[in-house]
């Protein structure tokens, strides 16, 4: 199998409703000769229409867009047998969404806080036929896809937790009380409680002790 | 300390500020960021719907991630969590976001020798 010639140019469509993301992607890829941005749009309907009419090689697709979500666009592209390769851009993504995105035919997911550092590498990986899943191991995903029941399991590698939630898990492991955590992160105690509710929900744990043991066992936030 | 406000390692690819072209690209994205996120925070202050606030916070979180504004990203994550719980965000929280935006704008203006206001 040969790698693409440097002269190859991949045509890219950027679909994201936030202008900052579109500008960022445009600026980053402008420095990479093998990628040429052929279109930009800010809603899902336009993304679908432009993929079908302009046939780009690569679609950079936001998940949360007006008119049609990224998931709905992926579903429609699948029904249309579109050959475009898709890299999903997401602010955060949980394991269930990750599986759904991959099952709908996307070739990878890039978190937005990794766009500046990883976009070029991720685009190259996808265009060479590989999948880009950031820090999530391919084995974990493949196992979960083979076992739909796995969708219900707590996420052992913690990738569904946001950076802030990982900070809170770390503080729980350190034995800090909510008030301490709030002071350390300069947020309110109520906000800590809200994050903890979401963390318990995502991990399936029901107490701080369980959460701390789970975090230590799986190396989350430690 | 700019490192607390901005993850500089992440911003390198957004524009090499030692070249004219890179500097233009860098300024373009930060101008768009400040304009957009400032307007978003104003809209969030006015909104009575926690669903709208959650959606605004999610978008602003993504934009903050792209430009490497780590602290602001965490703050929008806090707001998103609050709105997801169906609770209203206090004016103090928005004031804190505005202060962070002003501080980042000031720091970058000094560092780049341009007025980003």
Residues of chain A with Cβ-Cβ distance to B82 below 8 Å are: 190-191, 194
From residue B19, give the alpha-carbon distance in Å to each of A24, A39, A120, B16.
17, 26, 20, 6
Question: What is the pLDDT at residue A119?
Answer: 92
* A218: Cα within 13 Å, side-chain hemisphere: 17
Alpha helices in A39-94 (DSSP H): 44-54, 70-79
pLDDT at A154: 41
- Across the interface, whether the CB atoms of B33 and A18 are under 8 A apart is answered no
Are A203 and A140 members of one domain? Answer: no
User: From the CA of A16, how many Å to the nearest CA of chain B?
Assistant: 10
Residue A131 and residue A34 share a domain = yes
CA distance A1 to chain B (A): 30
Residues A206 and A130 in one domain: no
A114 falls within a domain: yes
**What's the pLDDT tens digit per position in B32-51?**
999 999 999 999 999 989 99
Q: Are residues A32 and A122 in the same domain?
A: yes
CB half-sphere exposure, A216, CA atoms < 13 A: 10
Q: Is the domain of A137 the same as that of A170?
A: no
Q: Determine contact, residues A24/B29, Cβ cutoff 8 Å.
A: yes
Nearest residue on chain A to B87, alpha-carbon basis: A194
Q: Is B23 within the bounds of a domain?
A: yes
- What ipTM is given for this predicted complex? 0.88
Q: How many CB pairs under 8 A join A and B?
A: 106
| Same structural domain, A19 and A129 | yes
CB A170 within 8 A of CB A139: no
- B15 chain-A contacts, CB cut-off 8 A: 27
pTM of the model: 0.75
For residue B52, is pLDDT > 80?
yes
Range of the domain at A171: 163-218
pLDDT of A156 reads: 46
Number of domains composing chain B:
1
Same domain, A108 and A64: yes
The CATH number given to whatever domain includes residue A30 is 3.40.50.2300
| Residue B65 domain boundaries | 17-112
Give domain status of residue B10, yes or no: no
Nearest chain B residue (CA) to A192: B78
Cα-only R_g, chain B = 15
Residues A103-160 have pLDDT tens digits of 898 998 998 888 888 899 999 989 988 888 865 445 555 555 555 444 333 444 444 7
**Structure confidence at residue A10 (pLDDT):** 96
A27 → closest Cβ in B29, B55, B73: B29
Asked if residue A158 belongs to a domain, the reply is: no
Pick from B12, B62, B81: CB nearest A112: B62
Residues of A whose CB is below 8 A from B37 = 20
Supply A172's token pair.
């729980």
A34, burial (CB in 10 Å: exposed 0-12, middle 13-18, buried 19+): middle
Domain count, chain A: 2
CATH of residue A205's domain is 1.10.10.10
A-chain residues within 8 Å CB-CB of B62? 18, 21, 62, 89-91, 112
Q: State how far the Cα of A195 lies from the Cα of B69, in Å rounded to an integer.
A: 20
């Amino acid at each position: 199998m040969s790698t693409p010639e440097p002269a190859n140019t991949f045509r890219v469509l950027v679909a994201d409703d936030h202008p900052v993301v579109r500008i960022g992607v445009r600026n980053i890829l402008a420095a990479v000769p093998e990628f040429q941005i052929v279109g930009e749009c800010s809603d899902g309907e336009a993304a679908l229409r432009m993929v079908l009419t302009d046939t780009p090689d690569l679609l950079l697709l936001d998940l949360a867009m007006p008119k049609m979500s990224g998931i709905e666009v992926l579903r429609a592209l699948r029904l249309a047998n579109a050959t475009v390769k898709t890299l999903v851009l997401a602010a955060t993504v949980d394991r269930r969404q990750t599986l759904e995105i991959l099952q709908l035919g996307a070739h990878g997911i890039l978190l937005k806080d990794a766009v500046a550092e990883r976009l070029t590498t991720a685009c190259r990986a996808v265009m060479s036929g590989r999948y880009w899943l950031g820090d999530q191991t391919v084995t974990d995903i493949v196992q979960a896809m083979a076992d739909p029941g796995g969708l219900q399991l707590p996420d052992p590698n913690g990738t569904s937790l946001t950076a802030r939630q990982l900070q809170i898990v770390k503080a729980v492991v350190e034995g800090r009380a909510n008030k301490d955590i709030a002071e350390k992160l300069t947020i309110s105690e109520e906000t800590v409680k809200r994050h903890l509710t979401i963390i318990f929900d995502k991990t399936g744990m029901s107490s701080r002790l369980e959460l701390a043991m789970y975090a230590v066992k799986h190396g989350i936030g430690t | 300390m700019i490192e607390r406000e901005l993850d500089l390692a992440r911003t390198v690819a957004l524009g090499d500020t030692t070249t004219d072209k890179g500097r233009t690209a860098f300024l373009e994205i930060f101008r768009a960021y400040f304009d957009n996120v400032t307007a978003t925070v104003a809209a969030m202050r006015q909104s009575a719907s926690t669903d709208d606030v959650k959606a605004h916070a999610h978008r602003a979180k993504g934009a903050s991630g792209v430009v490497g504004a780590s602290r602001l990203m965490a703050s929008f994550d806090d707001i998103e969590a609050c709105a997801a719980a169906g609770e209203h965000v206090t004016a103090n929280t928005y004031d804190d976001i505005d202060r962070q935006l002003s501080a980042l704008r000031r720091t970058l203006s000094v560092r780049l020798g341009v007025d980003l206001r």
